[in-house]
Chain A
Amino acid sequence: MMRRLRTREDIHRAEQLIGLVLIVGVVASACVVLVGGIYYLVQYGASPADYNAFHGVPKALKSLPRTFAVLSSGSSHAIIQAGLFVLVLLQSVRLAFCAWMFGRQLDWLYVLMNFFLIGVLLHTFV
Chain B
Amino acid sequence: MTITLFTALVFCGSFVAGCLGALTGLGGGIVIVPLLTVGFGVNIKYAIGASLISVIATSSGAAAAFVREGYTNIRIGIFLETSAAVGAVLGAYLTTILPVSIIALIFGLVLLYSAFGAMRRQEPVSSEKSSDPLAVRLKMEGQYPSREGPVHYGVSNVLGGWSVMGLAGCLSGLLGIGSGAVKVLAMDQIMRLPYKVSTTTSNFIIGITAAASAGVYFQEGYVDPGLTMPVMLGVLAGALIGARILRSAQSRVLRLLFGLVVLVLGFQMIWKGIGPWI
Contacts and interface: CB of A to CB of B under 8 A. Distances in A.
Contacts of A123: 89, 215
A15 B74 contact: yes
Nearest to A55: B221
Interface in A25-83: 25-26, 29-30, 33-34, 36-37, 40-41, 44-49, 51-57, 61-64, 76-78, 80-81
A19 B68 contact: yes
Contact of B3 (A45, A55, A63): A45
A101 B7 CA distance: 40
B82 A116 contact: yes
Given A19-B64, A62-B221, A124-B213, A46 B2 contact: yes
A121 B220 contact: no
Contact of A57 (B3, B64, B225, B233): B225
Given A77-B226, A107-B139, A117-B78, A46 B3 contact: yes
Nearest to B213: A124
In this complex, which of A18, A20, A36, A54 has the most chain B Cβ atoms within 10 angstroms of its Cβ?
A: A54
Interface stretch (B16-24, B37-45, B115-123, B266-274): B37-45
Given A57-B224, A61-B225, A15 B2 contact: no
Given A25-B60, A91-B207, A36 B67 contact: no
B228 interface: yes
Majority-rule SS of A interface residues: helix
B216 interface: yes
A16 B138 CA distance: 22
Interface in A90-126: 90-92, 94-95, 98, 101-102, 107, 109-110, 113-114, 116-117, 120-121, 123-126
Contact of A40 (B41, B42, B81, B225): B225
Nearest to A92: B211
Interface in B179-201: none
A84 interface: yes
Given A33-B229, A51-B42, A126-B215, A121 B208 contact: yes
Given A48-B1, A51-B42, A51-B224, A88 B230 contact: no
B171 interface: no
Contacts of B60: 22, 25-26, 87, 90-91, 94
B108 interface: no
Contacts of A113: 78-79, 81-82
Contacts of B224: 51, 57
Contacts of A29: 57
Interface of A: 12, 15-16, 18-20, 22-23, 25-26, 29-30, 33-34, 36-37, 40-41, 44-49, 51-57, 61-64, 76-78, 80-81, 84-85, 87-88, 90-92, 94-95, 98, 101-102, 107, 109-110, 113-114, 116-117, 120-121, 123-126
Question: What 6 pairs between A and B have smallest CB-CB spacing?
Answer: A56-B221, A124-B215, A49-B6, A80-B225, A91-B211, A22-B64
